Amino acid sequence: MQTLSHDLARLRRQSARAAQPVVPEPVQVPAGAAVRASGVTKRFGANVVLDDLDLEIRAGEFVALLGRSGCGKTTLLRALAGIDRVTAGTLQVPTALAAAFQEPRLMPWKRAWRNVTLGLKTDAGRERARQALAEVGLAHRENAWPATLSGGEAQRVALARALVREPQLLLLDEPFAALDALTRIRMHALILQLWQRHRPAVLLVTHDVDEAVLLADRILVLEAGRVAADIAVAAPRPRSAERPGFQELRSRLLGLLGVELDAGRA
């Protein structure tokens, strides 16, 4: 009887170890790549959010990720950021990565420059914060409290906080969704300038098809936890909705997302 109890206990321990979620280790990915995901699966109970997903993002590439609500976009980004564990698969990301989210997530009791240096271990933190704030046009606001910043200014502080870490991979989770239309246009121009200057790989999660077409080198459409479409955007920058091919690509993407437009309204 005692032997049977020991055997059952051993099997339970083995089963528990086998069921442990996988934590992607930040590693130096192979040359030319910034992200490699193979067979990545994420379950919440019986609900499969990422389903044997494969993905590669090249170094310096700007990728936009579209998909209907609940398709797994933010889950994938959080897994790449190391915030969430995946259930199975192989996930490789660079050791130097940073993320910015829809909410700036600034500490209200810290001035702007101190928010930029959160978690940064260096004696030159303030000087680096000043440089990063200058890059996003906020050198004059380094001592501002978060409560005094506009929505666009707060999001620029969040971008400065990400850039000061000199990431090889920049993860953006709908960072412009809460901004008004004019501020959003300015932020699009800013993020392109910063990307062209620093050349990290970028993964932008967005619900905005126009934003994806205006900014990205490639657009991925996620459906049922897998990449359903991988579309290269060859149009030169700067882009606008008036340029040839924009509306055709926009209509194609909307169709993939289940939105059908009349020809006259596309």
User: Same structural domain for residues 90 and 176?
Assistant: yes
Sign of the CA dihedral running 114, 117, 120, 126: negative
Position 1 scores a pLDDT of 47
Q: Which tens digit of pLDDT belongs to each residue from 197-219?
A: 999 999 999 999 999 999 999 99
Position 31 scores a pLDDT of 56
Domain assignment of residue 219, given as a range: 18-96+169-180+192-266
Alpha-carbon span 221 to 231, nearest angstrom: 8
User: Same structural domain for residues 47 and 87?
Assistant: yes
Question: Do residues 179 and 152 make contact, with C-beta atoms less than 8 angstroms apart?
Answer: yes
Whether pLDDT at 85 is above 50: yes
187 within domain boundaries? no
What is the pTM (predicted TM-score) of this model?
A: 0.84
Alpha-carbon span 202 to 62, nearest angstrom: 5
Number of neighbouring beta carbons within 10 Å of residue 136: 24
186 half-sphere exposure, CB direction, 13 A CA radius? 12
Alpha-carbon span 126 to 238, nearest angstrom: 34
| pLDDT confidence bin for 18, thresholds 50/70/90 | very low
Q: Which tens digit of pLDDT belongs to each residue from 95-132?
A: 899 999 989 999 999 999 999 998 887 777 889 999 99
26 within domain boundaries? yes
Position 150 scores a pLDDT of 94
Q: Which tens digit of pLDDT belongs to each residue from 135-180?
A: 999 999 999 999 999 999 999 999 999 999 899 999 999 999 889 9
Alpha-carbon span 38 to 28, nearest angstrom: 16
| pLDDT confidence bin for 187, thresholds 50/70/90 | very high
Q: Which tens digit of pLDDT belongs to each residue from 102-112?
A: 899 999 999 99
Q: Which tens digit of pLDDT belongs to each residue from 46-74?
A: 899 999 999 999 999 999 999 998 889 99
13 within domain boundaries? no
Total domains present in the chain: 2
39 within domain boundaries? yes
Question: Do residues 51 and 226 make contact, with C-beta atoms less than 8 angstroms apart?
Answer: yes
